[in-house]
Amino acid sequence: MKPLLYIFAFSLFFGCKAQTNYTTQTNLEAKIELNARPKLVVGIVVDQMRYDYLTRFYNKFGEGGFKKLMNDGFNCKNNHYNYIPTYTGPGHTSIYTGTTPKNHGIIANNWYDKEIKKSVYCAGDDTENSVGTTATSGQMSPRRMKTTTFADENRLFTQMRGKTIGISVKDRGAILPAGHTANAAYWFHGKEEGNWITSTYYRNDLPNWVIDFNASDAAASYLKPWSTLHDINTYTESGTDLNTFEGGFKGKESATFPYDLKALSKENNGFDILKATAYGNALTADFAIAAIDGEQLGQDNITDVLAVSFSSTDYVGHNFGVNSKEIQDTYLRLDKDIERIINALDAKVGKGEYTLFLTSDHGAVDVPSYLQSVNIPSGYFDSKDFKSKLSSFISKRFGASDLLENGSNNQIFLNRERIALLGLNLEDVQEAIVNELITYKNIDKVYSATTMQTTDFTSGIEELLQNGFNQKRSGDILAVLDPAVISYSKTGSTHGSGLNYDTHVPLLFYGKGITKGSTYQKTVITDIAPTISALLGTSFPNGATGIPLEFVLKE
């Protein structure tokens, strides 16, 4: 018995010893893994940034902004959106969820809700109240987004100890990236107030640092003349300052520099004028830097997420066009703002302690009226004539004038109840409309919802349409316009298509865990979230369809 007892005791001792060593090793590995995670992930989305802005303005950028990210980080030079439509709401959502509207459900900025029979806004939520203003502009939440973001997954992974803050001039640019579990999202309410606000979805009052920022009159300091950062004659990468392709501001006869923003603000919704100038980005950068301090982001080994979206590039592009002096100046100034953020991160979080990525929610087309002037096929879609012709066709073909319920986002929603009452076959009605629309001027392709649901497309515009098609939310008919044909004013640029000018956007990775280099290998926007999730060691967002970009991550 004694030898057996000895053996048992011996085994028990060394078993416990081994277990202790194993536990110590596991804890050590966990500690190493924890320390390998960045203290802060910063996602920067530049609204309406075409990829070629990086290359077109490269020689005019300083060394500490875009160039630093390109040369010291990893540059994915052939990065694209893989769905239609290329709008702000779907773009921001797809970046952070790692999937397309087919799954995350944000099919546009606004869309027709087939259940309640009215248009809804992607971030609108009238069950919540504004915080920081008495206006309704704070009645927002991410509830229409059906899947998680990588920020949500980081919150779950860290038992809600890792913070998430979203910031943008646009509400949807702050809310959708931050996800469902964010500590807060903040956006800019202009008009006569010029304050950063939030929603009761996140909290019932503004934190002190936001109150202090609003009280500092930072917004008012930018109501000043907007002149070019450098001599306008050196802006050789853009068109002439005076032309017929730009919108401009009310109260100023020509869309030319300089712009007295304080004087013009009276006729342009007060502080809202800042949104459509380079100073809107500067104000966003100021607020983001204040948030790093105010929220103590990146101050421990539990990873935080800061989602920043620069919206003013989109407003300027819509107003003045992608070839304007205004857009060039906006990007040269944004380069300085990016540099300020990097410097603040280096000082407050620490060099090599954070990971940053920069991308865009969509690109933009050259102003078609400009393209026409240089003999490039382009044009404008006549929505009024389209609706008249289609309504006439429906009445004649089916003997009813009320089969069209809604038309929006290049989609047609049919009155399915009425079709059923008339004893018509839904698929037959859809197909008849498809065959009719394909004969219309400036319409390039048309598909029915039935086709989207029964055919597996693996390439071309058709694949992009299918990736953007949500069975419960999308329409019965999907139309695609000819290249460089838009439904918009004859001044300024817009977006929404599946063509390269809208899909090809920057993707830069920089900082902790990121290798240095570049690739022309095609990447898609849905790869971003899985890449960040892989870096953090968290679960991928629950609807993610993208893949981690292994060549971006250090071994």
Active site residues: 88
Q: Which helix (H) or strand (E) holds 304?
A: strand 304-310
Helices (H), 357-415: 368-373, 383-398
Q: What SS3 state is found at 188?
A: strand
State both tokens at 257: 């520099």
State both tokens at 466: 């299918």
Helices (H), 37-146: 52-56, 66-72, 88-97, 101-104
Residue (of 120, 115, 121, 118) closest to 416 by Cα position: 115
> CA–CA separation, 360 vs 495, rounded Å?
12
Cα dist from 342 to 206, 345, 470, whole Å:
26, 5, 38
Beta-carbon contacts of 380 under 8 Å, excluding residues fewer than 6 positions away, are 368, 485, 486, 487, 488, 490
Cα dist from 454 to 3, 83, 436, 543, whole Å:
74, 18, 21, 21
**Under a CB-based contact definition with an 8 Å cutoff, are residues 507 and 514 in contact?**
no
**Distance in angstroms between the alpha carbons of the first and the last residue of the chain:** 54
> CA–CA separation, 204 vs 186, rounded Å?
13
> CA–CA separation, 479 vs 473, rounded Å?
16
> CA–CA separation, 326 vs 345, rounded Å?
28
